[in-house]
Amino acid sequence: MPSQLDALKSLSLVVADTGDLDAIKRYRPHDATTNPSLLLKAFDLPGYQALIDEELAALQAEFQDRQARVEHAVDRLAVAKGAEIARHIPGRISTEVAARLSFDEEASVRKAHELIALYDRRGVAKDRVLIKLASTWEGIRAAERLEREGIQCNLTLLFSEAQAQACFDAGVFLVSPFVGRVTDWYKKETGRDYAPEEDPGVRFVHGVCERAGRGGYDTVVMGASFRTVGQVLALAGCPRLTISPALLEELAAKEGEVARAVEIPAAGERPAPLTEPAFRWRHNQDAMANDKLAEGIRRFDEDQRTLEARLAERLD
């Protein structure tokens, strides 16, 4: 009998939510994703040290100014790690635009171009890369422009139907609605635990999949931020699922069939595209989405700053 991981792979495309190359080799995902938080977790892994030293040496040779070295260090490290990961997966590597640019459309577009250029220098074509942007109005507009240039995007930190609809309207390649962080908010508010079938995060992602299907949008929905195997299995059939190594290990260790839990409905009539005022109002009306988007941007930025500080120490 196949493992639950193998059974799940027959229903959803599995993406590794990690920068740990050993885990990627072990579980053979189709795609992988990185962000400053995942890079920070991988920072002390023994297999990571030579890559860090190599990139820092290159920065010291390229930039005379120490601050310039620090400013470029995270991007260079992310791309170096992403390029290494890309050699071990058949699909794409997602790479994050710094969270501090989440409300700056122009700066986000510039940063995306820089990341694509760095990948190109390493022989990784842009069709193997997804640029990750926060699902703010500005991030979505940046993604819309990049998509028109042939640079495909992964819109992350997605917590509201308004964010999802605006991403569909913009024609972005992929959206990552979060499961665990949505459920965390409701558990804190209500003091309840939730079975997978009534889990607020699971139900939210089900809704995003249904909205994508009913509108006939090409945007890929990828469930993200899982806390339990139960949440993962409750979204079997969602086009893509990005899963941490710990949960991949649980799924690989248990045999059993996995039932399809997500059915994509047939396309119907599309709603009118959201205007900026409508987007901001509808998102504002969702207290959970407001809280979690702001918190997520702050957390990613905190991890980016911590990573920059640790790289700066290594540059000294």
- Residues with catalytic annotation? 132
Q: Name, in order, each residue with C-beta under 8 angstroms of 241's C-beta and a sequence gap of 6 or more.
A: 8, 12, 13, 14, 15, 222, 223, 224, 226, 232, 235
Contacts by 106-115, CB closer than 8 A, 24 or more apart: 106/142, 108/133, 108/138, 108/139, 108/142, 109/142, 109/145, 109/146, 111/75, 112/142, 112/146, 112/151, 112/153, 113/151, 114/75, 115/75, 115/78, 115/79
What amino acid is encoded at 73 in this protein? A
* Sign of CA pseudo-dihedral 87, 249, 18, 141: positive
In angstroms, rounded to a whole number, what is the distance separating the alpha carbons of residues 11 and 236? 6
* Sign of CA pseudo-dihedral 105, 106, 112, 116: positive
28: tokens are: 């053979």
For residue 39, list its beta bridge partners: none
> What's phi and psi for 131, nearest 5 deg?
-85, 125
Q: Give the Cβ contact number of residue 260 at 10 Å.
A: 11
3-state DSSP percent of the chain in helix, strand and coil, to 5: 60, 15, 30
